[in-house]
Structure 1
Amino acid sequence: MRMIGVVLLLCLPSLACAQQTEGQYDVRALGAKVGDLALSGVVKGSRYSVASRFETTGLVNALSGVWFQLKSNGRVQGDTFQPRNYIEEMDTGRRQSKERLTYSGGIARRDGPGSGRNSKHAVTDAEQKGALDPLSALFVVMRDQPAQGLCNLTQRIFDGKRLTELAMTRRTEAGPLITCHGIFRRVGGYSPEDLKRKRNFEFTVTYAPAGELMRLVEVRSDTLFGPATIIRR
């Protein structure tokens, strides 16, 4: 799920060229702001690292405060991300959790308690091989990138339990803006009841020029609870 940024032409041979993305976003649902999202990532040479944090705000926070922070790192080659480590920390107000995925040969392994495969709906190694962790997948979509690579993306995502697939299916342009249209699919790790409730979620991602690259300014997505929007500040 990734289109690598252009190499800066003026980088000196003795320096390591790096492309960095920083963003602060409002998350809105049901007509109101429900949270703040921050993302910071860098691609330097053949390696990348990214961190993100979300926390609820306003009435949602007062009723049920939730926050999570994610970190991921790995290698990048051509147009391909290869995660090495993924860490997820979460506090729902009722419980706290921390999970970690480590990768070998494109296959993720969960560390810590509950890392075994006890579910009858468990995803196999063959099914999840080559999938990105959730944060790496988010970074591929949300980072600054060249216009020519936008909207050409099909990528599976594995969070240690569930397997999904993101597919951008078409591209539209309105003046300087480029919008990618796509489908987010539940693939594995879900019960038949979950899949019957909803399997596919439509979304759009809109980018605006930022110097020589394009920068994400808005995401609109269907969810189990209705439409949701992420807007760059």
Structure 2
Amino acid sequence: MANWLKRVGLAAGISAALAGMVRAEEAQFDLVLRGITAGSLSWSGAGDPGGDYAVRGVLKTSGFAALLKKVRYDATAKGRIAADGTYSATRYAEDADTGKRQSQSVMIWEQGVPRIESYKPERKAKPWDVDPTSQKGTVDPLTAMYAVLRDVAPGKECNRDLAMFDGRRSSKLLLGAPKAEGSQVVCAGEYRRVAGFSPDDMAEKTSFPFTLTYAPGADGKMRVVEVAMDTLYGKARLVRE
């Protein structure tokens, strides 16, 4: 992965961006599936409204789950955050292994419109493919994750509506209004498949509800401590370490 990122000129750029931004954040989550730790999600990023952001994320299965199905996702993203907190992606690189397929891709945004710079291995066009030029204003999956999971000031939790495009598929990430539960804040959300998925995938499931739980951090900000979600493999949780 590192060698591949260097070839597309991203590894050094992301590292330099993270090192040069004062407000760097990082988080580690355990992926718990049906009560068993099945993997981990980690990310590190930096960026504030009115400036640029850079983030890297890694998701992988572990333990018994990895014996059944190895899944790995390693990605980097860069872009800009507007003064109102709106994210605009500029570049995204992904190295993924879903257990069914392995792929590497690079995508850039020009004037808000994504363009696929490379996708390996090459594949034949599908009837349900999404035209990237129709995806103006979208962000990549890692940018969406970063926007949702990073620490926020009290009162800024939840209330997100993000349109995503990963180079092949378009989807939506929605977060509703915050609800106070003691010192914590909970919001209901939904991941929704929109287009670019096979007919079988769309027939299988299009809506994946989840809940996001925030708790006060040591720095006075609210941080996501748990994500509880429905998956194709049953109930799952991301629990912050």
Given candidates 14, 37, 42, the residue that maps to 2:41 is 37
Gapped regions of structure 1 (runs ≥ 5): 1-15
Q: Does 1:108 pair with 2:114?
A: yes
Match of residue 223, structure 1, among 228, 231, 238: 231
> Which residue is equivalent to 2:72?
67
Q: Secondary structure at the match of 2:231?
A: coil
Matched, 1:212 2:216: no
Deviations 1:16-64 (A, max 9, x none): 9732221111001122111011110101561100001122111122343
How far apart, CA to CA, are the structure 1 residues paired with 2:124 and 2:221? 42
Give me the identity figure in percent.
Answer: 34
What amino acid is the match of 1:72? A
CA contact (8 A) 2:115 2:133 kept: no
Equivalent AA in structure 2 for residue 25 of structure 1: F
Shift of 1:174: 1.1
Which sits farther off after the overlay, 159-168 or 89-98? 89-98
Structure 2 spans left out of the alignment, 5+ residues: 1-19
Matched, 1:55 2:60: yes
> TM-score if structure 2 supplies the norm length?
0.83
Determine if the alignment matches structure 1 residue 232 to structure 2 residue 240.
yes
More relative contact order, 1 or 2 (CA 8 Å, 6+ apart): 1
* Partner Cα distance (2:51, 2:137) in 1: 17
Q: Is the 8 A contact 1:50 1:71 kept in 2?
A: yes
Contact map agreement 2:90 2:108 (CA 8 A) in 1? yes
Q: 1:20 aligns with which of 19, 24, 39?
A: 24
Give the direction of change, closer, same or farther, for the CA distance of 1:194–1:55 in structure 2 (3 Å limit). closer
Structure 2: distance between partners of 1:54 and 1:190: 21
For 1:193, the equivalent position in structure 2 comes to 200
Range with bigger deviation, 25-34 or 61-70: 61-70
Q: 2:177 is matched with which residue: 155, 160, 170?
A: 170
Q: Which moved more, 1:104-113 or 1:217-226?
A: 104-113
Give, in whole Å, the separation in 2 of the partners of 1:70 and 1:123: 21
Q: Is the 8 A contact 2:54 2:78 kept in 1?
A: yes
- The corresponding residue for 2:188 is 181
Cα RMSD, aligned residues only: 2.2
Higher helix share: 2
Cα-to-partner distance string for 1:60-103 (whole Å, 9 max, x where unaligned): 22343332211001111121111111111124567643111111
Alpha carbons 1:170, 1:182 under 8 Å: kept: no
Distance 1:154 1:134 in 2: 13
Paired with 1:63 and 1:191, the residues of 2 have a C-alpha distance of 24
